[in-house]
Amino acid sequence: MVKCMKLLGNSSRGIFPIQKCLLYQCYVLPIALYNFQLWFYNKAPLSYHMKILNKMQRRAAIWILGAFKTSLSEGIKAIAEIIPIKFHLQKLAERSLIHSFKLLANHIIRDLMDDLPHQSKEPNPHTVGSLTNQQKNIAKGHLIDSYNKSYSIFLSFSPLYQEFTPGFCLADIFSDCFSFNLTNKKEKDKNKIHAQELDNMVL
C-alpha cells in the first residue's frame, strides 16, 4: 500500500504532505497493525515484525516529505510527525488492555479473566488467576499480559462501579476537603513585570 500510494503524487497538482500523513495514518497503519495483539505482548520475539514495520514507516516518511532515500530514519520521521512504530504499538497495547473489561459479563474472555470469588459452588478451573506463574510463562499471549497488568494494579475493576458515577466520586463526596484558588493570569503577569521594573530601578 505504501508503494502504491506514491501514485497519488503523480497528478497535476499532487497532494500536500499533511494530506499524505493523514492517508498513511488512516489507511495504512490500521491495516498493518490489525490484530497486533497476537504477536505484540510481553516476552514475544518482535525482531521480524518490527523490522518490516520500520521499513514500511521509513518508506512512508520518505514519500510524505519527498526526501532522499539516504536520509536518516529518525530525522525524517520526526519532521513528518510520525510516531516511532514501537511507541505507537505500546500506546495501542496499553489502551487495548481495558477492552476485555468492557465486554458482557457472560463473555468467554470475561469468564477467563474473572478473578473475583464465584458465587457458584464450582469455580471455573480454567481462569487465568488459577494458573501458576510457570503456566503463565508457558501460555504467554495478550490475555495473560492484560491480566497481569490489570489485576496487579486493581484487584477488581468494574467500569460501572459506583465510585465512577457522577455524584459518588471522591471529589463529590468530600467536596469540603477540596479548595480551588482562581487566579487571573494577566494580573499575575503585570505584577511580575512591575516587580522586575522595581528591581531594575533599585539596581
Structural contact between residues 58 and 73, judged by C-beta atoms closer than 8 angstroms: yes
Which residue has 460501572 as its cell numbers? Answer: 160
Q: DSSP for 105-128? A: TT-HHHHHH--SPPSSSS--TTSG
Q: What is the rounded distance in angstroms from the CA atom of residue 37 to the CA atom of residue 17?
A: 30
Give the residue from 129, 165, 169, 126 showing the smallest Cα distance to 150.
129
- Report DSSP state, residue 9: G
**Predicted pLDDT at 104:** 77
Q: DSSP for 16-39? A: -HHHHHHHIIIIIHHHHTTTGGGT
Whether this prediction's pTM lies above 0.85 is answered by no
Give the residue from 108, 144, 141, 114 showing the smallest Cα distance to 127.
114
Q: What is the pLDDT along the chain (203 residues), one digit of tens a residue?
A: 777 776 776 555 667 888 888 888 888 899 989 888 888 877 677 888 889 999 999 988 888 888 887 888 888 888 888 888 888 888 888 777 777 767 777 777 777 776 554 545 466 666 776 777 777 666 677 777 777 666 655 445 556 667 667 777 777 788 788 777 777 777 777 777 877 777 777 65
